[in-house]
């Protein structure tokens, strides 16, 4: 059933793209109420507007903090048109019905992001606007609510389609969006106040904008990505990103941004199957590919350097799903775009999240993201022999890799190349054996290589196996009650071992 709009309250911070709605309301002789700058804007469009101040017989007070908070405004919105008692009271107190509310909110998040001081941030906590939104949305049976610019087009389509009226279903749709706006706004304010000094235990997160995916981790699972990928990436080529694409891309980008040198990473099922640094992109990619050219098929590749034609021609020989880079040379793009489904992404900014979440046991786990990258000064030499400079460089390289590898994890590497990894094993010994076998399968000589472990060795068995394979230096967190047994064995083999003091489990 259609309900014709006879009156509207418009009070907005952002006035762009409002003209079409005002024209439509004027065409249908809708009574307009407004305040301050919005009223001036509407009158500039030639609209006849009644000021809220004249309706309420109160001026805007307290520096604009109180403008619409009045029974004549909220009564006009909230009184029920099918309740005779409400209608009688509205007539008794000369409260006109308001059938449409168009309001947006002060830009709290934008002001906070700008680095403004607390006083400016607090002033951008909207009171009247949020109250209008909630009131109009609550009374969706009689009132239509537009709570953001994002709904202007939808409202205009409704007005055109229904000749200045709305249906109950449309009003409920608008109310749903309105409560999404108000809840997101309140969550942002809560997160601002919920800092380390005044923290509560409530879990509240809100992300606007969801992107439906073809399916989830498997075809029988539905999936949605919440966030703004367009802020992070520009897609130059290829098909739509899938759930698994997004997961692997995240891990590829997280790994590559921990390296300063020219680097290439190849990710398969969230683990690096190839990783290398070098003086040139082509050399770095070819060394990364050599780590496991079989697993690289269908993988996700990331680099921290522009893609030039020389490396593009090598990349083009491999079937891969995604390439992420800071930029692409024009002739490189010409080569890589030869495959229409190949996804090419320009990364516009680094990953910036500081928290991680996981849903388990009908609840949510939250933790700080593991963003720490050890420095050479963090290394504590615990063996008689200290690692040589080349070994230190290799250990630091391997330690970054092991941080980004599923536990239990072992990395075998040189100073600038991943030789092999043991990933996701139930014992550290199995992870090491897996890595050694894999390195041998791809022709790597482990004599002089280094080993990184994501956690301590509870027994000396891993350093014993590593020594037999030719490993000469080890990096691990330390902290086992039996650390000394591993140290003693390394000393007996003239191996160097360093402790970092940082465990890097990844599950």
Positions annotated as catalytic residues are 138, 269
Of 133, 134, 131, 141, the C-alpha closest to 171 is 141
Q: What is the DSSP string of 35-97?
A: -HHHHHHHHHTT--EEEHHHHHT---BTTTTBSS-SHHHHHHHHS-TT-HHHHHHHHHTT---
Contacts of 193 (CB under 8 A, 6+ apart): none
- What is the β-pairing status of strands 165-167 and 144-146? unpaired
Structure tokens belonging to residue 17: 């793209």
In this structure, the strands spanning 210-212 and 450-453 are unpaired
Residue with tokens 């956690």: 455
What is the spatial distance between Cα 236 and Cα 142, in angstroms, rounded to a whole number? 47
Between CA 36 and CA 61 the distance in angstroms is: 12
Four-point Cα dihedral 34, 40, 45, 50, nearest 10 = 40
Query: Residue 223 — φ and ψ, nearest 5°?
Result: -155, 150
CA 351 to chain CA centroid, Å, is 8
- Residue 57 tokens read as 């017989």
Q: Find residue 365's DSSP bridge partners.
A: 358
474 half-sphere exposure, CB direction, 13 A CA radius: 34
Backbone angles phi, psi at 64, to 5 degrees: 90, 0
* Cβ 413 vs Cβ 450: under 8 Å: yes
* Rounded distance between C-alpha atoms, residue 491 and residue 383, angstroms: 6
| Pair 36, 201: CB distance under 8 Å | no
Structural contact between residues 339 and 323, judged by C-beta atoms closer than 8 angstroms? no
């Amino acid at each position: 059933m259609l309900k014709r709009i006879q009156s509207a309250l418009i009070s907005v911070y952002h006035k762009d793209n409002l003209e079409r709605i005002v024209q439509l309301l004027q065409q249908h002789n809708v009574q307009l109420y407004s305040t301050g700058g919005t009223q001036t804007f509407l009158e500039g469009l030639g609209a006849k507007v009644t000021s809220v101040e004249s309706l309420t017989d109160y001026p805007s007070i307290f520096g604009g903090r109180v403008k619409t908070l009045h029974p004549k405004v909220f009564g006009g919105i909230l009184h029920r048109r099918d309740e005779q008692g409400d209608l009688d009271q509205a007539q008794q107190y000369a409260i006109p019905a308001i059938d449409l509310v168009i309001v947006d909110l002060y830009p709290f998040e934008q002001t906070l992001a700008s680095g403004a001081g607390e006083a400016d941030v607090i002033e951008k906590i909207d009171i009247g606007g949020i109250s209008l939104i909630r009131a109009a949305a609550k009374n969706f049976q009689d009132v239509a609510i537009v709570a953001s610019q994002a709904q202007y087009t939808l409202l205009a389509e409704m007005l055109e389609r229904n000749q200045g009226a709305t249906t109950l279903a449309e009003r409920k749709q608008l109310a749903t969006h309105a409560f999404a706006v108000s809840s997101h706004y309140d969550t942002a304010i809560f997160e601002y106040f919920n800092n380390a000094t005044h923290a509560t235990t409530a879990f509240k997160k809100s992300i606007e904008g969801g992107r439906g995916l073809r399916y989830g981790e498997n075809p029988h699972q539905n999936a949605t990505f919440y966030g703004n990928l367009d802020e992070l990436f520009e897609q130059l080529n290829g098909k739509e990103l899938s759930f698994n694409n997004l997961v692997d891309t995240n891990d590829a980008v997280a790994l590559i941004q921990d390296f300063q040198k020219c680097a290439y990473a190849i990710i398969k099922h969230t683990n690096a199957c190839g990783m290398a640094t070098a003086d040139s992109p082509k050399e770095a990619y070819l060394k990364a590919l050599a780590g496991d050219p079989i697993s690289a098929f269908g993988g996700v590749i990331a680099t921290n350097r522009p893609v030039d034609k020389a490396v593009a021609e090598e990349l083009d020989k491999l079937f891969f799903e995604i390439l992420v880079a800071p930029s692409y040379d024009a002739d490189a793009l010409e080569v890589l775009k030869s495959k229409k489904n190949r996804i090419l992404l320009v990364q516009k900014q680094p990953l910036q999240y500081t928290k991680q979440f996981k849903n388990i046991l009908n609840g949510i786990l939250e933790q700080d993201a593991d963003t720490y990258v050890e420095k050479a000064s963090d290394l504590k030499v615990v063996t008689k022999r200290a690692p040589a400079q080349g070994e230190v460089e290799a250990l630091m390289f391997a330690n970054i890799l092991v941080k980004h590898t599923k536990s239990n994890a072992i990395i075998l590497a040189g100073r600038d190349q991943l030789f092999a990894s043991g990933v996701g094993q139930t014992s550290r010994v199995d992870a090491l054996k897996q890595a050694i076998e894999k390195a041998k399968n791809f022709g790597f000589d482990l004599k002089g290589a280094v080993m990184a472990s994501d956690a301590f060795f509870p027994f000396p068995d891993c350093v014993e196996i590593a020594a037999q394979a030719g490993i000469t230096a080890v990096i691990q967190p330390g902290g086992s009650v039996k650390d000394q047994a591993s140290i003693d064995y390394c000393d007996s083999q003239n191996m160097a071992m360093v402790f970092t003091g940082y465990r890097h489990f990844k599950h």
